[in-house]
Structure 1
Amino acid sequence: MKIVLGLVFVLTLSVIRAQVPHWGPCPEPEVQPAFSLQQFTGRWFEIAKLPAQFEKGRCIETNFTLRTDTSVRVVSSEVQKGQVRKIEGTGIVVDPKNPAKLGISYSYVLPYSPYWILSTDYVTFALVYSCTDVLRLFHVDFAWILGRTRSLPDSTIEKALNTFAYNNIDVTRMTPSRQQDCDKTF
């Protein structure tokens, strides 16, 4: 049993290396009321994010294509070392009573990860949050500010940061995403 727990601990550390773990369980932020998955579909550009080991490139964007009323095809791409890298996954509405709480998986063997839409106007910006509890002792979270264009006004970003803070989500380590010279690559 000790060997299994040790292995779980080592694997957990490797997964969260770029992230900042926080003590205690995940916060329960408010999500977008009356969320419409159909209106959310389309192309979103990453404007800012909390560190994520699975995102190392620039020009990060995600395209959501409706499959059913509760399922979307998710294609994320980034430019890394001059190459466009894409990964395809599936997004689902986890609870039809709360459609802003999506789950996304990029693998058939991995469970769906939380992908909660905290706020969006569908045409300009979206705020996304994901959090995973580790043995309810601590949690690892991700947060993104997304835009329909490669940049957003400072006032929109400031409002987004305030929304995260209001929901007890620590975004002090959030960094701007690199979205320069992207149209030449895609």
Structure 2
Amino acid sequence: MPQSVEPVSPFNIDRYLGTWYEIARLDHSFERGLSDVSAVYSRNDDGSITVINRGYHTENQQWQQAEGRAVLVDEPDEAHLKVSFFGPFYSSYVVFYLEPDYSVALVSGYNTDYLWLLAREPIMDKAKIARYVAIAEQAGFATNRLLYPAQSQHP
């Protein structure tokens, strides 16, 4: 994980489960062109987490979905997971900021090239977004490069 972030602790994975909507992200190839991005986390019988990422590809005008598997890396009460969408290859997933009510999260990948602002609701007002972007900027992320995908396809 980036040296500039620390996983949230204490962390309750069961409270983190459910649906999260992508409010902002740094650009990367596997989400390029997607709007209306959401992630649904659910627990498996073996304790791992199923991750279903979904987004609307505006150019192809169709929904895309990827299913992955996540596991906690170290301590069960620390928000550091590793996620795999491609077989045995895992990538770091670090929740480094989390509202006490689990309504908003800032998530990093293994370096500062990966950042997501996630929320339980698909729309967030600009003042709140600015607050979370400032937290991410303090943690060393290039927030001037953030993308703010539309959240318009939700029923």
The TM-score, its normalising length taken from structure 2, stands at 0.87
Q: Is 1:170–2:129 an aligned residue pair?
A: no
Q: Which shifted more, 65-74 or 151-160?
A: 65-74
Deviations 1:56-91 (Å, cap 9, x if unpaired)?
A: 211110000012585210000111122111111101
Q: Report the alpha carbon displacement of residue 95 of structure 1 after superposing the two structures with TM.
A: 0.7
Change (3 A) 1:63 1:168: same
User: 3-state SS of the aligned residue for 1:131?
Assistant: coil
**What is the aligned partner in structure 2 of residue 90 from structure 1?**
69
Report the Cα distance in structure 2 between the residues aligned to 1:115 and 1:60, rounded to whole angstroms: 17
Report the Cα distance in structure 2 between the residues aligned to 1:78 and 1:114, rounded to whole angstroms: 21
**What is the aligned partner in structure 2 of residue 48 from structure 1?**
24
Identity percentage over the alignment? 23
Q: Is 1:104–2:83 an aligned residue pair?
A: yes
In structure 2, runs of 5+ residues without a counterpart are none
Report the Cα distance in structure 2 between the residues aligned to 1:98 and 1:39, rounded to whole angstroms: 11
Report the Cα distance in structure 1 between the residues aligned to 2:93 and 2:149, rounded to whole angstroms: 19
Q: Report the alpha carbon displacement of residue 146 of structure 1 after superposing the two structures with TM.
A: 0.6
- Report matched runs for 1:20-59 at 5 Å: 26-56=2-32, 57-59=34-36
If you compute each CA radius of gyration, which structure gives the higher value, 1 or 2?
1
Count of residue correspondences: 151
Q: Is 1:74–2:45 an aligned residue pair?
A: no
Q: Which shifted more, 92-101 or 70-79?
A: 92-101
Contact 2:12 2:77 in 1 (8 A): no
Deviations 1:100-121 (Å, cap 9, x if unpaired)?
A: 01111002142x1011001122
Alpha-carbon RMSD across the aligned residues, in angstroms, is: 2.0
Contact 1:37 1:70 in 2 (8 A): no
